[in-house]
Amino acid sequence: MKKSWIILIVVVVLIFIGYSSVKGIYNSMVVGSEAVDAQWAQVENVYQRRADLIPNLVATVKGYAAHEQETLEAVITARSKATSTTIDAGNMNAASLQQFQQAQEGLSSALSRLMVVVEKYPDLKANQNFLELQAQLEGTENRISVERKRFNDEARGYNTYIKKFPNNLFAGMFNFDEKAYFQATQGAETAPKVEF
């Protein structure tokens, strides 16, 4: 009789330990996944801030450089494409992140061309509204860089956690998938050639 009670207590303790371990691993995966999703929301937030600044920037430039219509339309089109490309944080994968990143790079490229056009107009470069918008846009670009790094850090921590043993077994069982990273723009590893 005493032996059966000992066996029963040992079995109950083992079940409790197993349950606690699985529960802890699962909850940690949920916390990590939610942290990545929250950081993704912050990345989208700073990209939205940039998109919100663009109409004012275009309107200011249009007042000084109305005949640069092609460049202004390219910026508006790129903004439209960038804001229409969205990702569900819960179903993020490398392909969808790459598509999002390409749309944002298209907008960055269009903005760069716009800034080159602005160089032709000294009155515009001296306009206080334009200078403020340009400063806000530069600040937003810095925020984008910071938030992308933070996102990659959160994704790395989460991915590392779900790949460790025995977490990887439970990650597969509970459908916790690896999160994608932001990648550097193609060709960014090559320094530009400067010739005088």
Give the CATH number of the domain where residue 79 resides: 1.20.1440.20
In a domain, 185, yes or no: no
Which residue range(s) make up the domain with 35?
2-173
Instruction: State the pTM of this model.
Output: 0.74
Residue 40 lies in a domain: yes
Report the residue count for the chain: 196
Give domain status of residue 181, yes or no.
Answer: no
Question: Contacts by 124-129 with C-beta closer than 8 Å and gap 24+?
Answer: 124/60, 124/61, 124/64, 124/65, 127/60, 127/64, 129/56, 129/60
Task: Classify residue 56: in a domain, yes or no.
Answer: yes
187 belongs to a structural domain: no
Widest pairwise Cα distance in the chain: 97
Q: Is residue 190 part of a domain?
A: no
pLDDT in tens, the chain (196 residues): 788 888 888 899 999 998 888 899 999 999 999 999 899 889 989 988 888 888 888 887 877 776 677 778 888 888 888 888 888 777 778 888 888 888 888 888 888 888 887 777 777 777 777 888 888 888 888 898 899 999 999 999 999 999 999 888 888 889 898 888 887 666 544 544 544 3
What does the alpha-carbon distance between residue 57 and residue 35 come to, in Å, rounded to a whole number?
Answer: 34
Q: Which DSSP state fits 192?
A: P
Domain count, the chain: 1
